[in-house]
């Protein structure tokens, strides 16, 4: 059995991902499939829900990649609660 939870740095784990625009997500997948690195800035933003198991804290972070997600978490740049 595999878990849908992905671990990221600093003790946080990804609980879920939500794309802001499914059409942009399709475009992103096509860019990857055809290896168009010059088009990479057009990636769609994704809102990640992350959890820190040690404290039970759950936060949301909007980022364009898991690398950017890790950088935002390290800097404490979480999304404002709506």
Give domain status of residue 81, yes or no. no
Give domain status of residue 1, yes or no. no
pLDDT single digits (tens) 41-79: 555 688 999 999 999 999 999 998 888 999 999 999 999
Give domain status of residue 65, yes or no. yes
The pLDDT value recorded for residue 43 is 59
Give domain status of residue 63, yes or no. yes
pLDDT single digits (tens) 19-36: 776 666 676 677 667 765
For the chain, how long is the longest CA-to-CA vector? 42
pLDDT band at 2 (very low <50, low <70, confident <90, very high): very low
Give domain status of residue 14, yes or no. yes
User: Between residues 72 and 5, which one has the greater pLDDT?
Assistant: 72
Cα angle, residue 56 at apex, residues 52 and 60 outer, rounded to 5°: 60
The pLDDT value recorded for residue 56 is 94
Give the domain extent around 49: 6-75
The count of domains in the chain is 1
Residue 50's Cβ-count burial label (10 Å; 0-12, 13-18, 19+) is buried
Give domain status of residue 69, yes or no. yes
């Amino acid at each position: 059995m595999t878990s849908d939870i992905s671990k990221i740095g600093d003790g946080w784990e990804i609980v879920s991902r939500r794309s802001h625009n499914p059409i942009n997500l399709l475009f992103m997948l096509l860019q990857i499939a055809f290896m168009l690195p010059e088009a990479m800035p057009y990636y769609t933003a994704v809102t990640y829900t992350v959890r820190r198991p040690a404290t039970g804290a759950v936060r949301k972070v909007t980022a364009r990649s898991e690398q950017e997600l890790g950088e935002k978490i390290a800097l404490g740049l979480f999304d404002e609660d709506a």
